[in-house]
Each structure stands twice: as structure tokens, then as C-alpha cells.
Chains A and B, each alone.
Chain A
Amino acid sequence: MTQPVANTAVPQPGPLYRLQQKFASTSVAAKIVAGLLILVAWELGVTFFAPKFVARPTNIIAVFPDVITEPEFIEATLSTLFAVLQGLLIALVSGTIIGIAMGRVKVFDRLLNVYINGFYTMPMIAVLPLLTIWFGYEDSARLATIVFAAFFSIAINARDGARSVPPEYLEVARAYRARQRDVWFDITFMSSLPYLVAGFRLAAGRALVGAVIAEFFVSLPGLGMYILSHTRSFAHNEAVVGVLMLAAFGLLFEATMNGVMRRFFPWYRREDRKD
């Protein structure tokens, strides 16, 4: 029955609040300071409490230049990156088409919705053994896993977007005698875009997971495999560089998405800034 003491609805503009504001408007310098603090904590934690083979920042930094110039590592990175991009592209095109069709055509929705939702919630690792047998222990098994991982979140979001096209837009289109084709490509697609972007973001994360897991299973020369083999041979610092590269993929993806949206869809996300 204890009441939280300092928790008021309106933040008081005290010194703490101002500090918070300062960090909310994150300068790059503040981010770097935060990163350095994490590294120091990690280094100290490992030094005092962990066995010798646990990776620590100083050791990782020491191997970093060698690893990222090593042909094996570069090959692994490119292999995973291209597989993910390829799989995402396939999932994006097919998921968008099928999702929008489900959202706008009742029959499709009735037929497919159960399966799409079912597969979406099912952990993809469960089908991986099957995929490896069906597609063989090669690249195509990894690609299939990535597509499988990414497809459903894209389709589900595209469906939701297409279903929530504001009726006002459709009314205007009809009043100006838009043809069916124009309604699909202009109104339905464009007003679903925020949903498509959300689905694609989700799908990118899942695709990366799918790629790494597939590499664990199939032993393809990708980052997942690189991390696994270096972990097993106790080259933990090298393995961590692989992990960091995967994290960099995520950041790269976000930056690219933001750039693309700003460049090609400048109206996107601006609506909620009206007041």
C-alpha cells in the first residue's frame, strides 16, 4: 500500500527534469559518453568477476582491425547481408500483394487469414529442419528461412493497412471517377504505407534472426556460422565482432529506411505533428 512519492502527472521543471530534457535531445557527444560508460562497466565486470576467456572491450578492440579486414569475415558479412536483402525483397513484394489483396477482397481474407496468422505466431525455428531437408543444405534453405520469417509480418500489416483505408479517400476517389486501378495503386497502397513500413521494420528484424539461425543449422559461410565456429574454438573476441556486425546491420537498416522515407515520402509521419 505504499504510494510512489515523487510520481506526479505533470513533470516539475526541476534540475533533474532539465537534465532529462538535455539527454532527450541527445547530442552525439552524449551518446558516445553513454557508450564509453557501458564499455568501462563491461571491462571492469569481466576483470573482477568472470573467467579469463570471456570477451572484454580492450581485447575486442585489439582484434577488431584484423577481423574486419580478414577475407573470411568480409565474405561472411556479404553472404549474410545479400541473403537477407534478397529474402526481404521477395517477402516485401509477395507479402504486400497478398496482404493488400486480403485487406480489400473479402474472399482472400476468409481463405487465408487463419493461416497467415497461424504461421506468423509459430516460431520459425520449428520449420527449419524441414526447410533444410526440402531445400538441401545450401543457400536456398537459408533464403527460404528468411522469406518465411519476414513474409507473414509484412502480409499481416499490409492487410491491416488496406482494411483501414479511410472511407473518405475512397469517397473522393469515386466522386472524381477513379478507375479501379487508380484506387488500388494510389489510394489503397499509399494510405497503407505507414502500415507497410511498420511491417517491413518488423520483418527486417525477423529476417536477420532467420538468417543467423539458418546458418547455425546449415553451416553456410555467413556471419551466423562465423560467430558459431569462433565461439566453439574459443576465439570469443572475434565472435563478438561478428555480433557487433549484426547490430550494425540493424542500425544501417534504420538509417536507410529513414533516408528513403524522407526522400521519397516526405509527407509520412508528419500528420501527427499538426499541433
Chain B
Amino acid sequence: MSQAASNLVHTVSGTGTSADDPSSAPTRIAISGAGKKYGELQVFKDINLTFGNGEIVTVVGPSGCGKTTLLRCIDGLIPLSEGEVKIEGSPINGPREGVAMVFQHFGLFPWKTVYQNVAYGLKLARHPAAEIKEKVPYFINLVGLSGFETAFPYQLSGGMQQRCGLARALAMEPHVLLMDEPFAAVDAQTREILQFELLKIWELRPLTMVFVTHSIEEAVLMGHRVVVLKGRPSGVHEVIDVDLPAPRDRGTLGHPRFTEVREHVWSTLMDEVRAAEFEV
């Protein structure tokens, strides 16, 4: 299937309408035979994954197993050592239009206001000023930061900073959103609020999301599938389908199936964590 898609789509334009149509290109991202080495250190190898249109895939795995590295490779920030990543059929060799990343470290520029931070990508992509003026407030509002347009990052709480980072990514209107533990640095309540808000935003505009997290709950709540990375070098240990009813919301947490899947992911991961503990 991805083979066919890659043959069909060779235009670089990230806004190709054919790619938006699920029937013609259901695969948004295809990772095949992916491996990454830092010098001698083989971080992961032989990863094969495909992500569908509008699918949310969460990635869990022990610390240091290469989740961030994998996301960087998908975004094209660093090259793979083996294999390739194709997005909408074309191989990745650098950051490209239509793909946006939300960083664990927020990555807001302290010298820019919320407005300027959110406008950052649009400005770099040379969007017309009128369009920027229209879009930026829209996305600031979408993440619930209205009224803070002129605030600087130091004036924001951790949760608000991450909202700002999210708005900056969403403003690019990406087809693919890569999220690296976006809520790891905020407190539990804020985290829950942000999770449900993100789900709501996704309902509004379903885009392909690759969501790395340390939290098993979060992985099961957000993901249509959960990818478990394991081993050393790590590889895909298991891909778990999360067959929970849509839309996901607070009720999902009380669903009996939610508990089942969560336990399943937990025991899969815990074997690894225990093994790692004995190793040290």
C-alpha cells in the first residue's frame, strides 16, 4: 500500500489534496527498516511502522530507548542510519512543510511574546501578513491563551507555555503532529486538562499524531494504537490496538476496556523495567 502511495505522490507540495483523501492515501507516515546509531551506540533498529491518516499513535518505552530520537528522525531533524521514513510518499531528508513538532522542552523563545512565538513558523514560511494576523489569534484562542498575546514566556505557567508551543505547531496547520512528551513537565491536573483539550482539538481537525509519553494512562487514553518500544537496541515490541469508543473523553477513563488495555501495556513495559533494574 505504501509502495503504491510513494509511486503516486511525488509532488513536494505538502498540501496535495490527493493525500488528504483517505481512500487514495490512507498511509500518512511509513517507516521501514529504520535504524539509528550515534557512533557506536545503536539506539534502535529495524523499526517498521505505518501511521494512517488522522490516526493517533502513542509511543511508550523505557527511558533512553530512543523515543525522542525516533521523533527527530521522523521530523527530519536528524538522519536515520538505516532505512527510511516516508511522509505522504516522499522520503524525509529534512524538516518539511505539513509536519510540526511539539517539544518536551517547550522550546519557546523568551524574547518573543506569546503572539510572536505562535507566529514564528508562519513568518518563516512567508505567509502573507494578513493571513498571519487572522490565524495567530485563532490558534491562541483554540489552546485557551486569549488575553495573553503580549505576555512573555516567563510570565506563563508551565501548562500555559506548553499551550503556546502547541499553538505554534497547530498554526502551521500540519497534517502530521509529532509530540514529544508534551505534558511531562506540567502538574497532574493541568496535564489532564491539556489531554482532553488536545483530544477536542483533534476532533475539530483530525490530523496524524505521533505522541511519545511516559505515562501509560495517557498512552491508552490518547492513542488509537500504542507502540511499545523495547530492547537494546530497541525495536517495536508490540503494537496494541486500543479499541475504545470515540470520542475519547473523561468517560473513557472509566471504561472497563480502558483498564484492561492499560494493564496489558503496563505488564508489557514492566518486564523491561525490571530487567533494566537488575542490569544496573
Say whether B124 faces chain A, with CB atoms less than 8 Å apart: yes
Q: B125: nearest residue on chain A (CB-CB)?
A: A177
Q: Which residues of B contact A187 (CB under 8 A)?
A: 109
Q: Please measure, in the bound complex, the distance between the C-alpha atom of A176 and the C-alpha atom of B120, giving whole angstroms.
A: 8
Q: Which residues of B contact A271 (CB under 8 A)?
A: 110, 154
CB pair A171–B109 under 8 Å, yes or no, is no
* Interface pick from B36-44, B100-108, B139-147, B243-251: B100-108
- Write out, one digit per residue, whether chain A residues 62-73 have a CB within 8 A of any chain B CB (1) or not (0): 000000000000
User: Which residues between 83 and 124 of chain B lie within 8 Å of chain A, taking CB atoms?
Assistant: 94-97, 100-101, 103, 105, 107, 109-111, 120-121, 124
Q: Which residues of B contact A179 (CB under 8 A)?
A: 124
Report which residue of A172, A187, A190, A274 has the largest number of chain B beta carbons within 10 angstroms of its beta carbon: A172
- Write out, one digit per residue, whether chain A residues 183-222 have a CB within 8 A of any chain B CB (1) or not (0): 0001100110100000000000000000000000000000
Say whether B152 faces chain A, with CB atoms less than 8 Å apart: yes
CB pair A168–B103 under 8 Å, yes or no, is yes
- Write out, one digit per residue, whether chain B residues 118-134 have a CB within 8 A of any chain A CB (1) or not (0): 00110011000000000
Q: Which residues of B contact A190 (CB under 8 A)?
A: 109, 111
Say whether B276 faces chain A, with CB atoms less than 8 Å apart: no
CB pair A171–B77 under 8 Å, yes or no, is yes
Q: Which residues of A contact B97 (CB under 8 A)?
A: 177
- Write out, one digit per residue, whether chain A residues 154-172 have a CB within 8 A of any chain B CB (1) or not (0): 0000000000000011011
Say whether A262 faces chain B, with CB atoms less than 8 Å apart: no
Say whether B218 faces chain A, with CB atoms less than 8 Å apart: no
CB pair B111–A265 under 8 Å, yes or no, is yes
CB pair A176–B95 under 8 Å, yes or no, is yes
Report which residue of B100, B107, B172 has the largest number of chain A beta carbons within 10 angstroms of its beta carbon: B107
Q: Please measure, in the bound complex, the distance between the C-alpha atom of A172 and the C-alpha atom of B107, giving whole angstroms.
A: 6
User: Which residues between 96 and 128 of chain A lie within 8 Å of chain B, taking CB atoms?
Assistant: none
Q: Which residues of B contact A75 (CB under 8 A)?
A: none
Number of interface residues of A (CB under 8 A): 24
Q: Which residues of B contact A265 (CB under 8 A)?
A: 111
Q: Which residues of B contact A53 (CB under 8 A)?
A: none
Q: B154: nearest residue on chain A (CB-CB)?
A: A270
Say whether A254 faces chain B, with CB atoms less than 8 Å apart: no
Interface of A is mostly: helix
Q: A179: nearest residue on chain B (CB-CB)?
A: B124
Say whether B75 faces chain A, with CB atoms less than 8 Å apart: yes
CB pair A176–B111 under 8 Å, yes or no, is no
CB pair B125–A169 under 8 Å, yes or no, is no
Q: Which residues of A contact B96 (CB under 8 A)?
A: 177
Instruction: Tell which of A169, A191, A193, A268 touches B107, judged by Cβ atoms closer than 8 Å.
Output: A169
CB pair A174–B77 under 8 Å, yes or no, is yes
User: How far, in Å, is B115 (CB) from chain A's closest CB?
Assistant: 13
Q: Please measure, in the bound complex, the distance between the C-alpha atom of A169 and the C-alpha atom of B154, giving whole angstroms.
A: 16
CB pair A267–B154 under 8 Å, yes or no, is yes
User: Which residues between 55 and 88 of chain B lie within 8 Å of chain A, taking CB atoms?
Assistant: 75, 77
Instruction: Tell which of B111, B154, B172 touches A274, judged by Cβ atoms closer than 8 Å.
Output: B154
User: How far, in Å, is B165 (CB) from chain A's closest CB?
Assistant: 9
Instruction: Tell which of B75, B95, B105, B111 touches A168, judged by Cβ atoms closer than 8 Å.
Output: B105
Say whether A175 faces chain B, with CB atoms less than 8 Å apart: yes
CB pair B152–A267 under 8 Å, yes or no, is yes
User: How far, in Å, is A213 (CB) from chain B's closest CB?
Assistant: 37
- Given known pairs A168-B107, A182-B124, A271-B110, the reply for A175 and B154 (CB within 8 Å) is no
Q: Please measure, in the bound complex, the distance between the C-alpha atom of A176 and the C-alpha atom of B125, giving whole angstroms.
A: 8
CB pair B77–A175 under 8 Å, yes or no, is yes
Q: Which residues of B contact A169 (CB under 8 A)?
A: 107, 109
CB pair B110–A176 under 8 Å, yes or no, is no
Say whether A232 faces chain B, with CB atoms less than 8 Å apart: no
Say whether A178 faces chain B, with CB atoms less than 8 Å apart: yes
Q: Which residues of B contact A191 (CB under 8 A)?
A: 109, 111
Q: Please measure, in the bound complex, the distance between the C-alpha atom of A274 and the C-alpha atom of B77, giving whole angstroms.
A: 31
- Given known pairs A175-B75, A178-B124, the reply for A273 and B109 (CB within 8 Å) is no
Q: Please measure, in the bound complex, the distance between the C-alpha atom of A268 and the C-alpha atom of B109, giving whole angstroms.
A: 12
Measuring CB to CB, which residues of chain A are less than 8 angstroms from any residue of chain B?
168-169, 171-172, 174-179, 182, 186-187, 190-191, 193, 265-268, 270-271, 273-274
Given contacts A175-B101, A176-B124, A270-B154, 15 further A-B contacts (CB under 8 A): A168-B107, A169-B107, A169-B109, A171-B77, A172-B103, A175-B103, A177-B97, A177-B125, A187-B109, A190-B111, A191-B109, A267-B152, A271-B110, A271-B154, A273-B154
Contact sample, A vs B, 7 pairs, CB 8 Å cutoff: A171-B77, A171-B103, A171-B107, A186-B109, A265-B111, A266-B152, A268-B111
List the 7 closest A-B pairs by CB distance, nearest first.
A172-B107, A176-B121, A267-B152, A270-B154, A190-B111, A168-B105, A175-B101
